[in-house]
C-alpha cells in the first residue's frame, strides 16, 4: 500500500498501525514527535491501534530545542 509521509511516497507491505509504519521508515526514536494523518493530529496513545489506509497523507513533526 502507498502512503505519503512528509511529501514523499512510501510503499508499505500491508495495512499497518502508525507505530509499525514508524518502525519501517524511521531509524530514530519517537520522543518529541507529533503525527498528523490526513490533517488530523493522532495522539501518541493510539499510535499502536490507529490503522493507516492506502493514500493517507502523513505529516511527521519533530520538536526541536532552541530560541
CB-CB neighbours of 52 under 10 Å: 20
Rounded Cα–Cα distance for residues 2 and 12 (Å):
6
SS3 at position 66? coil
pLDDT per residue as tens, the chain (67 positions): 999 999 999 998 888 999 999 988 877 777 889 999 999 999 999 999 999 999 999 999 988 777 5
Q: How confident is the model at residue 15, as a pLDDT? A: 85
Q: How confident is the model at residue 67, as a pLDDT? A: 59
Please list the helix, strand and coil fractions of the chain in percent, rounded to the nearest 5, in that order: 15, 35, 50
Q: How confident is the model at residue 62, as a pLDDT? A: 87
Left (φ > 0), alpha (ψ -120 to 50) or beta: where does 13 sit? alpha
Amino acid at each position: 500500500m502507498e502512503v505519503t509521509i512528509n511529501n514523499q511516497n512510501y510503499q508499505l507491505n500491508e495495512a499497518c498501525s502508525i507505530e509499525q509504519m514508524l518502525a519501517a521508515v524511521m531509524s530514530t526514536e519517537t520522543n518529541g514527535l507529533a503525527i498528523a494523518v490526513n490533517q488530523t493530529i493522532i495522539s501518541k496513545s493510539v499510535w499502536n491501534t490507529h490503522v493507516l489506509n492506502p493514500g493517507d497523507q502523513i505529516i511527521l513533526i519533530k520538536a526541536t530545542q532552541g530560541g
